[in-house]
């Protein structure tokens, strides 16, 4: 099994991604670290605990990480995920403890103590925690097996500004640090997540699943879906973060290229934009596997069969 740490800001799609990871026998989740993003870091930590309690997996420790991005005073996408960050289901307040150690310190310690190249990181929110860990302890970079992250956008532009995707726009400095770190990186950008739409038929299949986890997932999707439908006028809302976990469980679901990706930091028009050298027009070396194709039916198939395994 792949040993992973999940860094996340739940978040409706983060919650589904965590469930997918919990349901997979191929992944061993060592810990979950929360970050400020969709809602505050306190709330994202509590939301992670809620999912673990729902799935009967309180053996997985939850750490709270950074309270704000490097270059902004705050950030939020509660207009999409609701004030709790996971609006929809009626989940009780969590009772499991949040670990006392700061998420960044945990990350440094976990990477240093894991066998060289054994630990993977899955990033589902702004990359603040990993960026600060890399600043604090540059020795960890060559020890990480890989980073799989939801972030960036190329062919269709952004979802929070015309040019930038939310996670990269929320903390462009952090994304820049991770992209320059030399850690093997796989990006699941809007290019693929916007292909993985929660159509009525796919939602109906999820609704038919037994178990309280699937029921909570559907309640969240129905809440978030309404908003996105109004925004995009599509046949269903995109499902972003579960693409990271799906790419680890079933790599054939996604296709892309090793390319150079650079983050725009300074221009108001393009701040947080992922500039992708898809055609190799610069001499900049490749630093990421940038995904652009997705097998959406295969992805929803994987999601349904996995959620069916949870309580
Ligand atoms: C990303 O933004 C967040 O709102 C989602 O959870 C996802 O990680 C998509 O742009
Ligand atoms: Ca997220």
pLDDT digits (tens, 9 = 90+) for 87-118: 999 999 999 999 999 999 999 999 999 999 99
Whether 255 shows a pLDDT value over 90: the answer reads yes
User: Residue 283 Cα, ligand 2 centroid: separation in angstroms?
Assistant: 32
Known catalytic residue at 240:
yes
At residue 228 the predicted structure's pLDDT band, cuts being 50, 70 and 90, is low
Starting from the CA of residue 237, give the closest ligand.
1
Closest CA to 239 of 228, 248, 230, 231: 228
User: Quick check: CB of 228 below 6 Å from ligand 1?
Assistant: no
Total H helices, total E strands in the chain: 12, 12
Closest CA to 127 of 41, 8, 12: 8
User: Quick check: CB of 171 below 6 Å from ligand 1?
Assistant: no
- Distance (Å, whole) CA 91 – CA 20: 18
ipTM here:
0.99
Please report the sign of the dihedral spanned by the C-alpha atoms of residue 12, residue 261, residue 27, residue 193: positive
Please report the sign of the dihedral spanned by the C-alpha atoms of residue 168, residue 171, residue 176, residue 179: negative
At residue 237 the predicted structure's pLDDT band, cuts being 50, 70 and 90, is confident
What pLDDT does 74 receive? 83
Whether 207 shows a pLDDT value over 70: the answer reads yes
User: Quick check: CB of 167 below 6 Å from ligand 1?
Assistant: yes
What pLDDT does 149 receive? 99
Separation of CA 164 from chain center: 16
The token duo for 72 is 């902004």
At residue 233 the predicted structure's pLDDT band, cuts being 50, 70 and 90, is confident
């Amino acid at each position: 099994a792949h040993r992973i740490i999940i860094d996340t800001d739940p978040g409706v799609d983060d919650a589904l991604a965590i469930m997918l990871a919990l349901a997979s026998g191929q992944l061993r989740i060592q810990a979950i670290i929360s970050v400020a993003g969709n809602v505050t870091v306190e709330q994202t930590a509590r939301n992670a605990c809620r999912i673990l309690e729902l799935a009967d997996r309180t053996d997985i420790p939850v750490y709270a990480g950074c309270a704000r991005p490097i270059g902004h005073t705050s950030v939020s996408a509660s207009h999409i995920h609701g004030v709790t960050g996971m609006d929809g289901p009626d989940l009780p307040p969590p009772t499991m403890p949040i670990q006392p150690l700061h998420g960044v310190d945990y990350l440094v310690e976990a990477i240093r103590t894991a066998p060289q190249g054994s630990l993977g990181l899955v990033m589902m929110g702004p990359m603040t925690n990993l960026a600060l860990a890399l600043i604090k302890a540059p020795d960890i970079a060559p020890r990480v097996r890989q980073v799989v992250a939801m972030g960036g956008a190329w062919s269709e532009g952004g979802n929070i500004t015309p040019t930038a995707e939310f996670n990269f726009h929320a903390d462009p400095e952090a994304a820049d640090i991770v992209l320059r770190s030399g850690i093997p990186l796989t990006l699941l950008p809007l290019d693929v997540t916007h292909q993985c739409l929660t159509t009525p038929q796919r939602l109906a299949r999820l609704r038919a699943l037994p178990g309280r986890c699937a029921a909570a997932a559907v309640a969240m999707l129905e809440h978030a879906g309404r908003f996105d439908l109004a925004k995009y006028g599509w046949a269903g809302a995109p499902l972003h973060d579960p693409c990271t976990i799906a790419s680890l469980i079933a790599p054939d679901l996604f296709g892309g290229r090793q390319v150079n990706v650079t983050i725009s930091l300074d221009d108001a028009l393009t701040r947080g934009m992922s500039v992708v050298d898809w055609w190799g027009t610069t001499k900049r070396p490749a630093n990421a596997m940038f995904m652009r194709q997705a097998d959406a039916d295969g992805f929803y198939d994987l999601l349904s069969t996995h959620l069916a395994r949870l309580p």
